[in-house]
């Protein structure tokens, strides 16, 4: 029973780490990376569709992304979606290929992105702590129902805390890597 609770906690904490990674991918660094456009949605025959499902996204060079829509008639829709996105992109179209140059990040912009990254990391830590709280509550309920002993409860609490510390350390490591990435000029 306790092992099932610990596994559930690990799964929930791993999902928090996964969500953090996806949120970090949306924070732009100085380099071009296709995952930057993951949140962009294009109106495709009246339906909001992820950009990756209507176009091929590639890297031309370190600071330029290319977007090649699969249908020529949706090029203006893709361009409009890129301009509306809150990524601050300025696409230029040449035929059916849309080039997206990445502007150099200013010091102020970098600090703003670092602040955003820290906020995302804190959200992940909160999710991990919530998973820990839920599991510890379930363990206390087992103790109240006399399904486990006090020794088992104490041991389980220590193990859950170790798992929590491990996942919090992963968040801190990911944040440090993202901050380093953002500060590279």
**Which residues 6+ apart lie within 8 Å of 99 measured at CB?**
60, 64, 65, 66, 91, 92, 93
CATH classification of the domain holding 147: 1.10.132.20
CATH classification of the domain holding 52: 3.30.1360.40
pTM: 0.72
**Token duo for residue 178:** 């993202």
Helices (H), ranges, the chain: 2-26, 75-84, 107-144, 150-183
The helix (H) or strand (E) run that includes residue 99 is: strand 97-101
Residues 116 and 171 in one domain: yes
- What pLDDT, on the 0 to 100 scale, is given for residue 103? 73
Q: State the residue range of the domain holding 167.
A: 2-26+106-183
Residues 119 and 170 in one domain: yes
Q: What is the pLDDT along the chain (185 residues), one digit of tens a residue?
A: 788 888 888 999 999 999 888 888 777 666 777 777 877 888 888 888 888 888 888 888 878 888 888 888 888 888 888 888 777 778 888 888 888 887 777 788 888 888 989 999 999 999 999 999 999 999 898 888 888 888 888 998 999 999 999 999 999 999 998 888 887 76
Nearest-angstrom CA–CA distance, 3 and 7: 6
Contact of 43 with 82, CB cutoff 8 Å? no
Structural domain ending residue among the three candidates 101, 125, 160: 101
Q: Measure CA 43 to chain center.
A: 24
């Amino acid at each position: 029973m306790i092992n099932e609770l610990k596994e559930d906690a690990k799964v929930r904490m791993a999902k928090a780490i996964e969500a953090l990674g996806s949120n970090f991918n949306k924070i732009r660094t100085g380099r071009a990376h296709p995952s930057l456009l993951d949140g962009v949605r294009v109106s495709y025959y009246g339906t909001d569709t992820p950009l990756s499902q209507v176009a091929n996204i590639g890297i031309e060079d370190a600071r330029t992304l290319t977007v090649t829509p699969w249908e020529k008639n949706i090029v203006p829709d893709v361009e409009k979606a890129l301009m509306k996105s809150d990524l601050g992109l300025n696409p230029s179209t040449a035929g059916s290929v849309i080039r997206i140059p990445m502007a150099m990040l200013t010091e102020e912009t970098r600090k703003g992105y670092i602040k955003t990254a820290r906020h995302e990391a804190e959200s992940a830590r909160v999710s991990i702590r919530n998973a820990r709280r839920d599991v510890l509550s379930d363990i206390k309920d087992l103790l109240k129902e006399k399904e486990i002993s006090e020794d088992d409860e104490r041991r389980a609490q220590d193990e859950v805390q170790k798992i929590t510390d491990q996942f919090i350390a992963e968040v801190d490591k990911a944040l440090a890597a993202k901050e380093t990435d953002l500060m590279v000029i």
